[in-house]
Amino acid sequence: MLYLILVPAILTRVSVIPFELLIKRAANKLLGLGLSICETGHNETTKRFSRAHIFQKETEIAMARNVADVLWQMLVDAGVKRCYGIIGDALNPVIDALRRNGKVDFVHVRNEEYGVFAAVADAYFTGAPVAVCGTAGPGVVHLFNGLMDARKERAPVIAIAGDVETSLIDTSALEEMNPYQFFQAASLYTARLVNPAQAQAVIGTAIRTSILEKGPTVLSIPGDVAAADAVGEPVAISIPAAPVFRPSDSDLRCLTDMIDEAGTVAIFGGDGCRDAREEVIALAARLKAPIGYALRGKQWLEHDNPYAVGLTGLLGYGGAYGAINHADLLLMLGTDFPFSEFLPGAKVRKVQIDTNPKHIGRRTPLDLGLVGDVKATVQALLENVREKTDDSFLRKYVAETESFAELKGHYVDNGPGIKPIRPEYLAATVSKLASDDAMFFADTGTAVMWIARHINGGKNRRLFGSFSWASMANAAPNAFGAQLAYPGRQTIAICGDGGFTMLGMGDLLTQVERKTPVVHILLNNESLDFVGIEQQEAGYIPYGVAFKNPNFAVVAEAMGAKGIRIEEPDAVSDGLTEALAHKSGPVVVDVVVDPYALAMPSHVPFHTLKGYTLSVAKQVLSGKMDSLIKTAERNIRLL
């Protein structure tokens, strides 16, 4: 508070105004901070408000804590290092406290949704909680889609939602909304701070829930509460270690008996195998079991795995579908695979193991459902199950996987001579050129098809996307968040042109400002390509999916990023090499790809085949024969 004295003194040349009067003026300014002064004359004022007394009060004020201070101290203690968002008046006390705290990097984005998607990747890979924020009303609404993604991908994201002042709650005030109702689907725990006495208990609950249950929580904080004095002494936030548990001994004996009785066993793994890779492979070796995986399990189970037989589903390849549908017993480990039509029926006995009891049996009927950690459960199994000796079932589906690799490699091997550029060739070239610890992010759509089929995993490589929520426009912000979490590590966003123009392009400015070396590879086919495919699968004529694009490389340069345009297949390797070598900021690689490129799954359900047949007939009758011929010509080698 000393500046309240010194600044007026300097401006008025101290000699003009008596020091005692300056003291009185400064004291009056401090009245709003709860300090008192006796106005019985200059002499008494001077005595009551000596310099020493002012310094004492200044120290007390500096040490005073408000609710927002408590918030950030608890978040920092819990491991929060970054907060992504956009500020507004309802957040002013919160952001001012963040500034004073000085230990959290505030990442100012151009769209709150972009910030949450960045936080999701940041939190998912680091395992540490990440904060996001939006101001009251519209700013808070922009958080929702990303928080849904955080819930589905199990990322510990803590949202700080600005709120109207407490005196305005339930009056339909400007920007007022009910956080409980609005965030019900997205948040594991939502709290509205309406009294400073709530702060430590509520904030602590939000933090622990987010970390231990791996998902988003929301703290809705009115500005007047955030600015209010904290109540009580500060309490350290205590985060217990995540529990590790397995099924009971009796359930494990039952599972062991089922495995020993089965002639053939197949394994189907998901993200729940993240920390259990070595155990799952050891189990496969003992049981001579092929390992198929859901998309979220690919990065953990595919690389350097002699038992790997690929994915199933419409993105599927290899022998996974055949293996899991023709085994005597299927072990579903840490997966909530949502496409039930690709899972086996009653002829195959099925066991599911998952830490979340809500996942058990909801995709397919089970013979045994067990709640437990995959790693701990498989470790216990390995001590008891008998080793199988017949590996013919395994060899059959490994061979089928190798044969399918030749089929899906046609447009990769011949890519340099095919124009327009085949996306398979583009993805395979990226995979070849990228570093061994590269992190790949895919927009929902055909980008996921190519990353699933043609980006090779590795011990230190990572793959990520909105795989369980399927939002558009996630890749660019995901890669941005990963780059902030792992500075200098190669982060590659494979973006659809629709997704990039929806969300990625505006916050390219944020990346330019931050100088983050994220490589954006745009699949420029001037279409919502995957939506068009889905329309045909359902028996419709593709409609409403085409649009016009700019030259994204030129746009990127205008925004301060590096731009590279690739139109010729023989320029793919050199263009990508140049992009990956650029370290001083973001790169946008605008690749004009074949809009008719398709991917053939290893198994096509009857309803999908029926839908495509109906769509083809409708397109013929509506005069779209040219388009059908181009599609057939450019994908004939997939058959």
Q: What is the CATH number of the domain that holds 160?
A: 3.40.50.970
290-349 pLDDT per residue, tens: 999 999 999 999 999 999 999 998 888 999 999 999 999 999 999 999 999 999 999 999
What percentage of residues in the chain have a pLDDT greater than 90?
77
Tokens of 350: 């099925």
Tokens of 148: 């849904």
Host domain of residue 124: 67-226
Tokens of 426: 């583009």
Token pair 């002012």 is found at 54
Q: In the predicted model, is pLDDT for residue 83 greater than 50?
A: yes
Please, which pLDDT band fits residue 199 given cuts at 50, 70 and 90? very high
In a domain, 195, yes or no: yes
| Rounded average pLDDT over 118-138 | 98
397-422 pLDDT per residue, tens: 999 999 988 888 889 999 999 999 99
Residue 161 shares a structural domain with residue 36: no
Residue 422 shares a structural domain with residue 553: yes
Residue 219 shares a structural domain with residue 266: no
User: Residue 105: helix, strand or coil by DSSP?
Assistant: strand
For residue 227, which phi and psi values (nearest 5 degrees)?
Answer: -85, -10
Average pLDDT value for the chain: 88
Selection from 493, 527, 529, 521 nearest residue 590 by Cα = 521
Rounded to whole angstroms, the Cα distance separating 213 from 188 reads 8
In a domain, 184, yes or no: yes
Rounded to whole angstroms, the Cα distance separating 114 from 500 reads 11
| Number of domains composing the chain | 4
Q: In the predicted model, is pLDDT for residue 494 greater than 90?
A: yes
Selection from 402, 394, 393, 396 nearest residue 318 by Cα = 402
Rounded to whole angstroms, the Cα distance separating 222 from 192 reads 8
| Residues 280 and 301: beta-carbon distance below 8 Å | yes
Residue 494 shares a structural domain with residue 629: yes
| Rounded average pLDDT over 591-617 | 73
| Rounded average pLDDT over 471-477 | 97
Rounded to whole angstroms, the Cα distance separating 151 from 622 reads 43
The last residue of one of the domains, among 335, 369, 399, is: 399
Residue 562 shares a structural domain with residue 615: yes
pTM score of the predicted model: 0.87
Residue 442 shares a structural domain with residue 340: no
Residue 431 shares a structural domain with residue 362: no
Residue 81 shares a structural domain with residue 117: yes
Residue 93 shares a structural domain with residue 167: yes
Q: In the predicted model, is pLDDT for residue 57 greater than 60?
A: no
Please, which pLDDT band fits residue 236 given cuts at 50, 70 and 90? confident
Q: In the predicted model, is pLDDT for residue 20 greater than 80?
A: no
Residue 218 shares a structural domain with residue 260: no
Token pair 């090779």 is found at 456
Selection from 194, 200, 133 nearest residue 164 by Cα = 194
| Rounded average pLDDT over 90-104 | 97
| Sheet strands side by side (includes 462-465) | 462-465, 439-442, 491-496, 518-524, 587-592, 562-566
In a domain, 618, yes or no: yes
| Residues 443 and 467: beta-carbon distance below 8 Å | no
Question: What residues form DSSP beta bridges with 311?
Answer: 293
Rounded to whole angstroms, the Cα distance separating 232 from 244 reads 35
Q: In the predicted model, is pLDDT for residue 189 greater than 90?
A: yes
Residue 52 shares a structural domain with residue 166: no
In a domain, 235, yes or no: no
Rounded to whole angstroms, the Cα distance separating 315 from 534 reads 13
Please, which pLDDT band fits residue 1 given cuts at 50, 70 and 90? very low
